[in-house]
């Protein structure tokens, strides 16, 4: 399936290939697949090395010899003669070798034409917890996320529909009502399965019939995430705390306090006891942090309260799986409070996929704006509504107080512009920058 990150890989090849590329992202989001496609299509020769399957290479890079000699021994072990001018080397599961991660500095600085790309499970966690120093400035970092809604449409072959959505987004002219309802239906399907490539592929294989979708795919990915929480931890007690935070997020999103509360994990939970576990989750990219804005002023990232935040799951399909929500209740709009919570988490994932930092605004627990966007038009509030009931006292409070150039309301309503508010359908959230 086509992924938008492919263009980022092309950009690295054309502009910065001398610097090794490290692709970071959670398990099962399609890192290996898209890097394989890139390496096969864009280079004459390609060497794939999975360190989980080649423990001998890990041993080679552990040896007390220089990196060039390690590379030579690796070639002998693999029984291949690598033509560096024409060959790209993909080290998959590179988190298995801290020494190889450190050796990326040599590959960057060497006069030899190395072309190195690497990825791995929990690589973000491994990098943060390396015992040796990470080669800062010698590695190009690229974050990857689950498929956003545009990629979901691409996988379904709806390319003309994507162009129509983009046209309506730019002009704010309403989409044809029949098409609008069609895309809202696809949006609901996306909520059910999420953006994990295997889940999307299974839905498409079953002609988008949600009744035939194999929900065990998402359940298995969720279980694999829980299993990963025992890796790169100091002890089993820390792993337990990581799992406790993660499992609490669906209910945390329903907090009336509109923020993450350690006390919701257990009655005696304290920040100091869970801070390391939270950092593990953030480094894994299984969750996204959305801190509150303390002061509406440019730049907003300079005025956040880091200890006052929300947590969102990286995939909305996993959120539904954790809540054990029946798919027909999503399709038939039978949800009440959690319909809005699911829509909010969905929009968070689309903003992250579009490289927007997550920030929200609140005024004394009396008014809250879901997300704050900073772009060429200044600081822009984003309100999320799960249906077409668009009244929002909170957004009115914000606009009257701070007079933004405009506001964005994401809802099930069609495109439009009125009262200084851009109406953006939920299915077009992937376009917000």
Domains and CATH numbers, the chain: 5-143 (3.40.50.300), 216-431 (no CATH)
Q: Measure the CA–CA gap between 127 and 220, rounded to whole angstroms.
A: 26
Element spanning 351, H or E: helix 337-353
pLDDT tens profile 299-311: 999 999 999 999 9
- Torsion, CA 8, CA 10, CA 14, CA 20, rounded to 10: 70
pLDDT reading at 356 higher than 90: yes
Cβ–Cβ < 8 Å for 309, 260: yes
Confidence band of 339 (pLDDT split at 50, 70, 90): very high
Please classify residue 65 by burial: count the beta carbons closer than 10 Å to its beta carbon, then call 0-12 exposed, 13-18 middle and 19+ buried: exposed
User: Average pLDDT, stretch 229-254?
Assistant: 91
pLDDT tens profile 370-386: 999 999 999 999 999 99
Backbone φ and ψ of 173, nearest 5°: -85, 140
Q: Please tell me the chain's helix, strand, coil percentages from 3-state DSSP, rounded to the nearest 5.
A: 50, 15, 35
Q: What is the DSSP letter of 287?
A: E
Please classify residue 129 by burial: count the beta carbons closer than 10 Å to its beta carbon, then call 0-12 exposed, 13-18 middle and 19+ buried: middle
Cβ–Cβ < 8 Å for 380, 406: yes
Residues in the chain: 433
* Pairing of β 21-24 and β 140-143: parallel
What is the structure's pLDDT at 388? 73
Percentage of residues of the chain with pLDDT beyond 70: 100
What is the structure's pLDDT at 231? 87
Report residue 148 as tokens: 């956003």
C-alpha dist (Å) from residue 222 to 24, 274, 285, 317: 18, 21, 14, 10
* Pairing of β 378-384 and β 416-418: unpaired
pLDDT reading at 64 higher than 80: yes
Residues 6+ apart with CB under 8 A from 214: 202
pLDDT tens profile 2-25: 999 999 999 999 998 999 999 999
Furthest C-alpha separation in the chain: 69
pTM of the model: 0.94
């Amino acid at each position: 399936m086509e992924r938008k990150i492919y263009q980022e890989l092309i950009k690295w090849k054309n502009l910065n290939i001398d610097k090794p590329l490290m692709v970071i992202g959670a398990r099962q989001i399609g890192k290996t697949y898209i890097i394989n496609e890139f390496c096969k299509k864009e280079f004459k020769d390609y060497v794939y090395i999975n360190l989980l399957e080649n423990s001998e290479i890990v041993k080679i890079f552990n040896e007390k010899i220089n990196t060039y000699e390690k590379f030579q021994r690796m070639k002998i072990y693999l029984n291949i003669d690598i033509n560096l001018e024409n060959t790209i080397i993909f080290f998959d599961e590179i988190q298995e070798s801290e020494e190889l991660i450190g050796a990326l500095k040599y590959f960057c600085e060497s006069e030899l034409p190395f072309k190195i790309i690497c990825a791995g499970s929990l690589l973000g966690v491994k990098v943060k917890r390396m015992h040796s120093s990470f080669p800062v400035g010698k590695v190009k970092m690229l974050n990857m996320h689950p498929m956003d809604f545009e990629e979901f449409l691409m996988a379904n072959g709806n390319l003309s529909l994507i162009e129509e959505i983009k046209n309506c987004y730019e002009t704010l002219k309403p989409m044809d009502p029949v098409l609008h309802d069609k895309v809202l239906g696809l949006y609901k399907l996306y909520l059910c399965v999420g953006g994990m490539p295997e889940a999307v592929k299974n839905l498409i294989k079953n002609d988008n019939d949600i009744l035939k979708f194999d929900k065990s795919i998402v359940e298995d990915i969720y279980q694999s995430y829980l299993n990963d929480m025992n890796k790169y931890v100091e002890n089993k007690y820390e792993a337990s705390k990581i799992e406790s935070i993660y499992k609490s997020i669906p209910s945390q999103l329903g907090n009336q306090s509109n923020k993450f509360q350690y006390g919701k994990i257990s009655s005696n939970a304290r920040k100091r006891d869970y801070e390391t576990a939270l950092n593990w989750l953030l480094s894994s990219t299984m969750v996204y942090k959305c801190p509150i804005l303390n002061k509406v002023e440019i730049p907003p990232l300079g005025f956040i309260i880091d200890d006052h935040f929300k947590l969102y799951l990286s995939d909305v399909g996993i959120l539904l799986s954790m809540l054990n929500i029946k798919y027909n209740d999503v399709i038939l709009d039978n949800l009440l409070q959690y319909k809005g919570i699911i829509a909010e988490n969905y929009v968070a994932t689309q903003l992250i996929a579009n490289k927007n930092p997550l920030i929200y605004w609140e005024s004394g627990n009396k008014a809250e704006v879901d997300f704050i966007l900073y772009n060429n038009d200044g600081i822009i509030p984003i309100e999320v509504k799960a249906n077409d009931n668009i009244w929002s006292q909170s957004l009115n409070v914000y606009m009257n107080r701070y007079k933004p150039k405009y506001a964005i309301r994401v809802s099930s309503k069609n495109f439009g512009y009125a009262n200084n508010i851009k109406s953006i359908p939920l299915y077009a959230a992937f376009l917000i920058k």
